[in-house]
Structures are given as structure tokens and as C-alpha cells.
């Protein structure tokens, strides 16, 4: 299957620049080069590997405006949010440069027998990363940084609609001192991805993307006995319960749902409000949307830009239209603008039922679905009624309630009086259909590592 790599301005839908898919021979050669580079990179002093990451962080900060502008051009992220992502990415490279080496120290085991034993965290070889467009620098950083430090080498297949960013990521790592073959951007097709996974030289695959893509890649990885990490979709619950500070909850809910035009796996997609708080929360929430009118993403004051693609916007509109046609209530938005580009308004729905697509599908755009819960118990039930289990947020100042709810949510991450915000030293990942594995922190160093036992008598 051919993959078309192109910069398409989401504010107009116009093609700005196209890039060719590489040949089958070039894809095979790239993997061979990654494998050859691994032989020496794994033996490089860890200080050398850390120094590459430290210089990468410096270069991200040096070129912050340029990198952010490319992001705004290719996927429509408002420029202020884009600059924030560049800084987050730099902080990840910096974290592994500074803290990573000590996390890789040998672990001595307290054993019953004679002699000594330790576990050494060692690399495994060439890896393939398959990354999405919604956080184009951050998603790559959280995969690449720990593995480059560990001594693995990387082929990176980025999303087809952010090719210029993909090229710049490779250029910056090379400028930072990464030897030839340690990190390579590859514009490969779906069929070529399958061939790479089948090749015995490749040792692991990390994919961040849709549930459908994760299922396909996971099946191939299993068939060829390759380690994989799958960070997939989410339909994160945001619970507002007795004892909540409503000003705090509303502010977090609006930003958590509509930041990045709602195109985040950990976006607060399902707002579950205890019935005594429903009217007040709904009024404040919808009133806050005045500050989230769609606008020019190149303007520093814009909070809500276009969605990344017109096709994604149209899919979201179909999900909303389906809900409305089956009785959902629209409190704000809900109509596709009659204008160029992939714009969609901040939308609020309630009365969503299992008969509607919006109930069980991920809404990957600026649409919030509100559910009224008669009790804390019902709020938990609604929250867990999803095939996904990525992040969550629980707003209440009642410590007994927050402790109970945090333990019972079927998710990988819980925020108490906060939404899930990524940080270099915090593990990221989910359960159920939200994926397999963890990234960031020390956990990001363990996924593609050989935990090698060394026993001495």
C-alpha cells in the first residue's frame, strides 16, 4: 500500500510540499545500517550517548520558533501550544541525558546462595518507531531519547502529514552528534513497515496511534516474535464529584478537552458530573467556550486552531451528527463551518446513549460529552464503561472519595484534581484497548532492554 507523505495546510486543505516514499531496497538498507550502527553504539560510553541527548535538547530550544512554526503549518496546532510542545520535547531529551545514566546502573540482587548476582540493563538492537501527527516532536522524543541513551538504534516512520518535522528531527539528532545509523527517518509505506517487522535484524516496534493500527502492528509483532509497545486511543473520563472546587474543575475540563483541538489520547473526552453539581458545572463550562473560538493558529492568542486534517474533521462531524440524530442534546457547537480548512467548533453534547457512536468511539476532536451521575458509584460505573483505559481525572477535595475512585478506575493513569499532564519522569500508558507498555521515566528505559542476569560464584 502506497503512503503519500505531504505537508497539507490544515487551514486551507492545500498541498504545500510532497515527499516520495523510499524504495524497498532503501528501506532494507536503512535497517542494515541501523543494525551495523548498533554494534558500535551499544559499546559507546554512556556519557557519549547522554551528551548527544543533551545537545539535542539545546538544539530544540535554539530552534524552538522554527520547529513550532513547522508544527503549526503541518498539523494546525496553535503556535503558543506548539512552542510548549517543543519545550516539553527538549525537557525529555535533557531528562534522559542527566538522569538516565543513573537509572541504568547495575542492580545488585540479594540472593540466598553463595556468590553475587546483578541485573544489567542492556540494549537489544535496531527498533522501529511508528509515530502520529498530534504531538509530532513529543511522541518521537519519549521513544527515541531513552532508547538512544540505552544503546539501541532507531528507524522512525512518522505520520504522513508531518514530513518536514520528521526530516528536522533527524537533522537535529545528527547535528547533536548521533553517529550514522543511530537515528534514521524513513518515509516507508505500510507494506514496507510489514517487511521491516518481519526482518530478523529488527528487534522491536513502538507504535503510538489508533487502535486499528495498533492491532495490525501487534499482530505482525506477535507473528515474528518481536517486542512491541503500543500506545493507542483513549476516551478519558473526567469525574466531578461532591467536594469539588468547580472553578478549578471547569478550568481544567475546558483546557483538558479543547487543547490541541481535542486531538490527544489523554484529552478529557467524557465529563461525568455528579447530579448535584450538574447545572452549575454545565453553565460555567459552556460559558468558558467563548475563549475557544476557532482562529488563526499562527496567532499567539488563538487557543483553538483547525483540526489536523479535513478527513479527520469530517469523521468527527459524522460522529456528532449521528448522536444528534438519535437524540443527543447540543449545548454548544455541533455544526461544521462553511469555510476552508479543517475547522470545527468547540462542541458540548449530553444525553449520549449506547446507541450512538459517540458513546463507544473515541472522539478525536473538540467535542465534549457530558454524563450525569446520580452517585459516586454510578460515576465510577460510567467511567469504566469504555473499551479504553488510558488516563483519567477526578475532581473532589474529599480524600475518602478520591482514594476510593482512584483505586477503582480501570485506567493506567489517574489525576486527582488535575488532568494528566506528561512529564519526563512520569510513566505514561494505559490498559484495555489503550495499549501495551509504558513510556517515560525509568519505565521508558526498560521496555526495549535486555534485563541481563550476571551471576558470579
Q: Are the C-beta atoms of residues 59 and 210 closer than 8 Å to each other? A: no
Query: How many CB atoms neighbour CB 284 within 10 A?
Result: 16
Q: Are the C-beta atoms of residues 390 and 369 closer than 8 Å to each other? A: no
Residue 182 — φ and ψ, nearest 5°? -70, -40
Query: Can you spell out the DSSP letters for 99-112?
Result: THHHHTS-EE---S
Helix (H) or strand (E) holding 360: helix 357-360
Nearest Cα residue to 196 out of 130, 262, 138 = 130
d(CA 79, CA 425): 25
Query: How many CB atoms neighbour CB 449 within 10 A?
Result: 21
What are the b/e assignments for 84-122, b being 16+ CB within 10 Å? bbbbbbbbbbbbbbeebeebbeeeeeeeeeeeeeeeebe
Which active-site residues does the annotation give? 231, 265
Q: E-strand spans in 216-338?
A: 227-231, 237-240, 270-274, 329-332
Helix (H) or strand (E) holding 361: none
d(CA 64, CA 317): 33
d(CA 308, CA 314): 11
Instruction: Write out the three cell numbers for 267.
Output: 484529552
d(CA 339, CA 346): 16
Q: Give Cβ neighbours of residue 451 (< 8 Å, ≥ 6 apart).
A: 119, 120, 121, 122
Amino acid at each position: 500500500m502506497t503512503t503519500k507523505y505531504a505537508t497539507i495546510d490544515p487551514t486551507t486543505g492545500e498541498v504545500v510540499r510532497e515527499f516520495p516514499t523510499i524504495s524497498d531496497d532503501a528501506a532494507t538498507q536503512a535497517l542494515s545500517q541501523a543494525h551495523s550502527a548498533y554494534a558500535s553504539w551499544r559499546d559507546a560510553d554512556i556519557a557519549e550517548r547522554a551528551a548527544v541527548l543533551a545537545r539535542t535538547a539545546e538544539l530544540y530550544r535554539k530552534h524552538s520558533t522554527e520547529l513550532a512554526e513547522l508544527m503549526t503549518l503541518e498539523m494546525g496546532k496553535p503556535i503558543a501550544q506548539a512552542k510548549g510542545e517543543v519545550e516539553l520535547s527538549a525537557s525529555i531529551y535533557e531528562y534522559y541525558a542527566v538522569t538516565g545514566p543513573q537509572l541504568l546502573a547495575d542492580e545488585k540482587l540479594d540472593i540466598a546462595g553463595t556468590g553475587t548476582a546483578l541485573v544489567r540493563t542492556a540494549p537489544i538492537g535496531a527498533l522501529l518507531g511508528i509515530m502520529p501527527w498530534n504531538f509530532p516532536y513529543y511522541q518521537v522524543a519519549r521513544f527515541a531519547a531513552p532508547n538512544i541513551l540505552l544503546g539501541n538504534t532507531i528507524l522512525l516512520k512518522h505520520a504522513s502529514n508531518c514530513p518536514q518535522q520528521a526530516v528536522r528531527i533527524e537533522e537535529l539528532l545528527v547535528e547533536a552528534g548521533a553517529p550514522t545509523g543511530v537515528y534514521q527517518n524513513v518515509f516507508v509505506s505500510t507494506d514496507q513497515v510489514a517487511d521491516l517487522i518481519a526482518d530478523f535484524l529488527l528487534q522491536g516496534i513502538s507504535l503510538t496511534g489508533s487502535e486499528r493500527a495498533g492491532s495490525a502492528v501487534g499482530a505482525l509483532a506477535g507473528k515474528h516474535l518481536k517486542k512491541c509497545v503500543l500506545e493507542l486511543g483513549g476516551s478519558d473520563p473526567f469525574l466531578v464529584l461532591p467536594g469539588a472546587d468547580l472553578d478549578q474543575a471547569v478550568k481544567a475540563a475546558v483546557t483538558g478537552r479543547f487543547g490541541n483541538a481535542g486531538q490527544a489520547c489523554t484529552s478529557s473526552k467524557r465529563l461525568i458530573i455528579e447530579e448535584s453539581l450538574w447545572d452549575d458545572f454545565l453553565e460555567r463550562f459552556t460559558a468558558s467556550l467563548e475563549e475557544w473560538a476557532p482562529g488563526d493558529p499562527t496567532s499567539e492568542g488563538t487557543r483553538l486552531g483547525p483540526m489536523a486534517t479535513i478527513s479527520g474533521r469530517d469523521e468527527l462531524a459524522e460522529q456528532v451528527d449521528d448522536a444528534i440524530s438519535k437524540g443527543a442534546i447540543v449545548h454548544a457547537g455541533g455544526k461544521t463551518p462553511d469555510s476552508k480548512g479543517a475547522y470545527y467548533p468547540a462542541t458540548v453534547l449530553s444525553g449520549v446513549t449506547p446507541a450512538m457512536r459517540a458513546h463507544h468511539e473515541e472522539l478525536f476532536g473538540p467535542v465534549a460529552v457530558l454524563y450525569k451521575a446520580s452517585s459516586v458509584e454510578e460515576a465510577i460505573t460510567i467511567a469504566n464503561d469504555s473499551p479504553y483505559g488510558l488516563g483519567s481525572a477526578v475532581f473532589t477535595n474529599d480524600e475518602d472519595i478520591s482514594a476510593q475512585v482512584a483505586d477503582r478506575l480501570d485506567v493506567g493513569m489517574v489525576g486527582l484534581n488535575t488532568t494528566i499532564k506528561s512529564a519526563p519522569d512520569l510513566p505514561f500508558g494505559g490498559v484495555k484497548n489503550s495499549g501495551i507498555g509504558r513510556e517515560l521515566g525509568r519505565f521508558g528505559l526498560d521496555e526495549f532492554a535486555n534485563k541481563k542476569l550476571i551471576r558470579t560464584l
